[in-house]
Structure 1
Amino acid sequence: MDELAVALWEEPELGLHEEHSSKLLRETLEEAGFDIEAGVGGMPTAFVASYEAGEGPTIGILGEYDALPGLSQSVGSERDPIEAGAPGHGCGHNLFGTAGVGAAIAVSRALDRDDAGGEIRFYGCPAEETLVGKTFMARAGVFDDLDAAITWHPSDHTAPQRGGSLALDSLAFHFEGESAHAAASPESGRSALDGVQLLNTGVEYMREHVPESVRIHYNVENGGDAPNVVPAEASVWYFVRAPTREGVERVTEWLREIADGAAAMSRTEVSERYYTGCHRLVSNGAICDTFRENMAELGEVEFDEAEHELAGELQETFPEGALADRLAEFEPPHAEAADGATLYSTPMDAFDEGDPGGGSTDVGDVSQITPTAQFRATTWALGTPAHSWQAVVANGDFGRTALPYVAKLLAGSALDLLTDEARLAAAREEFEQHVDGYETPLPEGTEPPFDLTQ
């Protein structure tokens, strides 16, 4: 597993363009006897690897392997890009996918020994960072016959994730106007950038009148070329988040109305491109209990002195208050035990139950189809901000030490679900209490956004 994680880290790839990473993971599973279905959901780097032996449930392990833009970073305690502006694994997906592959192979060997019966699948899920992969895979129906799905995420602590996530819409508005000389003939022009700015201004006024849990972010993708030319084209990319799918859709409709108003005020034309959307995460408590039981049995990850030293050097570069803020989230006695630690891997109970969180994940769509849960495992220095260069360092160095632990935890939990009918039934019963059918958030005709590489 270590060599595989390094190979992915050394060649980071953006979402829907993970040709190298996807190929390495597929080849590893194929060599272990898995049947591979590639290109699922209309995405060449998405795949499903299956291994079946005997009668029993079908359990899925979700894996990711996309990187983030602009986070190229060498291993060291100072900011030092390998290639300026290039991608980097700031979210640990080089570890994420690798550990899942290792776990799936371990379960396949248990199936061969008749320790369990059924089917284990590894889902190669691209483009999680842009909330694309699993949503388009879900629309293709690849999760429909799963009895349960499990996954994990790199972090600075080890615990089940009992909290949720926010549903999301990702869409862009493109304004078209008329170019003209901005000084000699401004009356001849119609500024597309005015349309973008009016839309953004309208959204700022809208913020006062949406629930506090709603999150709206935007980025101007194109604002023109030169100050003395009235921009004929301009575009802005939006994320809309809310605790429910219905809430997201209400805010998105309001956003569209503001865009139409901005076009009317600027006398421009506006068009929309819907990139992707996702549902909220519904974390399954019965599966989280399974994770916690296995964590108690496995204990802690053992990091060596040099790894603790590098983690401590990274902590010195964190924003002021990052460590204190993290410790404030921990429950006693972990808050006290972790105080002063560089790497803290003692398993703890979840401290996020009932919290919808501030982010989004396309794991949410899987959780609307089958009982699903994930856990966090210590691969980063305590207090590490996600999507940071410090996380890239950890994912290329001491984070790899946790891979055997994570693979064992995933494999053990998958086997528990394969062999314990009562446990799986409890997970299904809980799922049916909280989920009432799945409907894709993708409008008809939406295709994977291969040009969305930001």
Structure 2
Amino acid sequence: MSIKDTAQAWIDEHIGELLDWHTHIWELAEPAWREFDSQAWYVRRLREEGFEVEDGSGGMPTAFSARWSNGPGPRLLTYAEYDAVPGNSQAATTHEEPRGELSRFAPGHTDPHSALGISTLAGLLATKHAMTTHGITGTLLYTGEPAEKMHGSKVVHGLRGYYDEADAIVSFHPFYMLPLCNTARWDTQCGAYYSKVYSFLCDEPETWQLSSADPHSPIPASHSAARAPGANLALTQMLTSSRSMLDSMLPATGGWSFTDAILTDGQATADNLPQRVARVQFSWRTPDIEMAEHVLAVLDRNATAAAMMAHCSVEERWVARSRPGRTNHVLAQALYDNLAEVGPPVYGFEAVALAQEVQRNLGVEVSEKPFLPETERLIEPQEAERQLREQMPAWQRNWTSDDYVEMSHYAPLVRFYVSRPALASAPGAGPYPGWVMNALGGMPELIAPTILTAGKTISGTFLDLFTSPDVLAQVKEEYESRIAEEPMPALLPADFAAPIDLPWPDYRVDRGSGRRCW
């Protein structure tokens, strides 16, 4: 049996376990910076497989860094993600329903990162098995990356040197937009991503209007006195002013986005007192750093003005500040060759039946072939690039946003995609509701093709790099030349700490029953 056949056979033989593992992570569905059970599962699993694991790497409790070595040789890295998204609780069923007794606003896996992590773990363990069986030397590196939805951990791991020893990195994501389905990125990588939390603090409400103070009241701000506007006003002023200025922040073209979230500590009740704290997070995706910096300057000015209006001070906290990605043609071609050898995902009878049941429950015409045709087809990186460029202005170099970009500044990296189950739109019916893709991603019969294809592609690529020193030398030569042509220093200081202490959404566990509540 060849080296790659050995790895692929391991994945085929262990697909039942891999799907059980996937279901476990998918059901946990823990949101950003709060993936405690998911991370603990990975740490235990990797230690049982013989890896040395640093628990809580980079000062992040829900991150990890693992390594396994079979002697001198190349050092290759891939990673797991496992954060879910608040407001997307969905059971692995063919109708809309939250998981268990949770609120529908609890987190759920959307992309799904559960499949991302288990797919890369499958490739990692299959490679280890083949290396042991065939006596191949080298080192496997594997990192746990929390809070991907906020570009959380990779910027920190990068600044702390966790990627420095890697000779190459394989970055995987389940497909989420065409034409990037069953392919590798070529020239157009993801762009810049900035995310920042502005906290408005009303710590001196008594100094708002001294003339209204009642000398007979024991409370500086009595119910009858004029009171400071408070933190909520600052937040709403910041939110509305920034939203109303979007046209002045960025051009009308270029593929950018601007989102916000309100963090909820300190606002449990309404009382006749100034709100002491209010926090708003802004995140923006842009094709380049110059555009991202322009948005930042506007937001910083707005925050200062909003705080002054509401008699507050403002604290600023970075969540992420990511550079656009670097491409590597040699590595992308090497990976795609392996993907072509494995072939695209194939959805069997059981998967088709489940997809048809979803259509039936939605009152959509049931189709013989319910899946998006592209999910079962390969597209060469160069052709995907051509189609991608048709959608973009000629000046735009980068498109969308994902935090793998930070890793590409520390080692050669390839970004690839394998389809996750997605239904083709029925004629005249419009797009499916969001819960459909979330539900399909949790069904073992439907997610198995993603894990099989991605895992085998990763193991094949790793084994090629371990056994083909000339290819790896070309990968590194291209990486060094691109660094020299366009230096791009980190955007945050080396001692930047992840904002794990902010009041991010979380589960509450009942001490008596152990039940998780949102």
Q: TM-score, normalised by structure 2?
A: 0.75
Partner SS, residue 174 of structure 1: strand
Once the two structures are superposed, residues 395-415 of structure 1 have per-residue CA deviations (whole angstroms, 9 ceiling, x without a partner) of: 211112331221110110111
Give 1:294's match in structure 2, choosing from 338, 358, 372. Answer: 338
Following superposition, the deviation at residue 367 of structure 1 comes to 0.8
In 2, the alpha carbon distance for the partners of 1:379 and 1:404 equals: 11
CA shift, 1:293, in A, is 0.9
Q: Show the counterpart of 1:430.
A: 478
Q: Does the CA contact (< 8 Å) of 2:163 and 2:411 recur in 1?
A: yes
Q: Are the equivalent residues in 1 in contact too, given 2:159–2:494 (CA < 8 A)?
A: no
> Would the alpha carbon gap of residues 15 and 219 (structure 1) be closer, same or farther in structure 2, given more than 3 Å must change?
closer
- Equivalent residue number for residue 441 of structure 1: 492
Q: Distance in 1 between matches of 2:70 and 2:274?
A: 66
Which of 42, 45, 49 pairs up with 1:32? 49
Closer, same or farther: CA 374–386 of 1 in aligned 2, 3 Å: farther
Shift of 1:173: 1.6
* Aligned match of 1:159: 183
| Cα distance in 2, alignment partners of residues 433 and 205 from structure 1 | 43
Which residue identity lines up with residue 260 of structure 2 in the other structure? Y
Relative distance call for 1:422 and 1:221 in structure 2 (3 A) is same
Distance 1:347 1:380 in 2: 15
Match of 1:349 among 380, 400, 405: 380
Instruction: Give the Cα–Cα distance (whole angstroms) in 2 for the partners of residues 339 and 311 of structure 1.
Output: 6
Per the alignment, residue 40 of structure 2 pairs with: 23
Maintained 8 Å contact 1:379/1:400:
no
CA contact (8 A) 2:60 2:500 kept: no
* Contact 1:243 1:280 (C-alpha < 8 Å) held by counterparts: yes
Query: For the residues of structure 1 that align with 2:157 and 2:107, how far apart are their CA atoms?
Result: 24
Q: 1:272 to 1:437 in 2, by over 3 A?
A: closer
- After the TM superposition, which residues 81-92 of structure 1 pair with which residues of structure 2 at under 5 Å, given as runs? 81-82=98-99, 83-84=102-103, 85-92=105-112
Q: 1:75 aligns with which of 84, 92, 111?
A: 92
Displacement of 1:186 after TM fit? Answer: 7.7
- Summarize the Cα distance change of 1:448–1:195 in structure 2 as closer, same or farther, 3 Å threshold: closer
Paired with 1:309 and 1:247, the residues of 2 have a C-alpha distance of 47
How is 1:141-220 mapped onto 2 (pairs within 5 angstroms)?
141-155=161-175, 157-162=181-186, 163-177=188-202, 178=205, 187-212=226-251, 213=254, 214-220=256-262
Following the alignment from structure 1 to structure 2, what is the Cα–Cα distance between the partners of residues 185 and 349? Answer: 71
In 1, Cα distance between equivalents of 2:273 and 2:360? 47
Equivalents in 2 of 1:92, 1:386: separation in Å?
17
- Structure 1 portions without partners, runs of 5+: 321-337
Whole-angstrom CA distance in 1 between matches of 2:90 and 2:190: 29
- Give the gaps of 5 or more residues in structure 2: 1-17, 213-220, 426-430, 506-518
Identity across matched positions, percent: 25
For residue 61 of structure 1, the aligned residue among 78, 101, 105 is 78
Letter of the structure 2 residue corresponding to residue 304 of structure 1? G
State the shift of 1:296 in Å.
1.6
Deviation at 1:445, TM superposition (A): 5.0
- What per-residue deviation string (whole Å, max 9, x for no partner) do you get for residues 81-100 of structure 1? 02213222212111111111
Q: CA deviation at 1:280?
A: 2.1
Q: C-alpha separation between the residues in 2 aligned to 1:166 and 1:387?
A: 28
Amino acid aligned to 2:169: A
Match in the other structure for 2:280: 236
Change (3 A) 1:17 1:293: same
Q: Report how far residue 229 of structure 1 moved.
A: 6.0
Once residues 283 and 420 of structure 1 are traced to their aligned partners in structure 2, the CA distance between those partners, rounded to angstroms, is 20
Q: Taking structure 1 as reference, are residues 139 and 218 closer, same or farther at Cα in structure 2, changes over 3 Å only?
A: same
User: Mean Cα displacement is larger for which, 219-228 or 278-287?
Assistant: 219-228
Residue 90 of structure 1 contacts residue 386 of structure 1 at CA under 8 Å; is this kept in 2?
no
Tell me, in whole angstroms, the C-alpha distance in 2 between the residues paired with 1:288 and 1:386: 32
Cα 1:451/1:108, change in 2 over 3 Å? same
Instruction: Say yes or no: does 1:8 pair with 2:25.
Output: yes
User: Is the Cα–Cα contact under 8 Å of residues 355 and 370 in structure 2 kept in the other structure?
Assistant: no
Q: Which amino acid aligns with 2:69?
A: E
Map of 1:264 onto structure 2? 308
The alpha-carbon deviation at position 268 of structure 1 amounts to: 3.1
Query: Rg bigger for which structure?
Result: 2
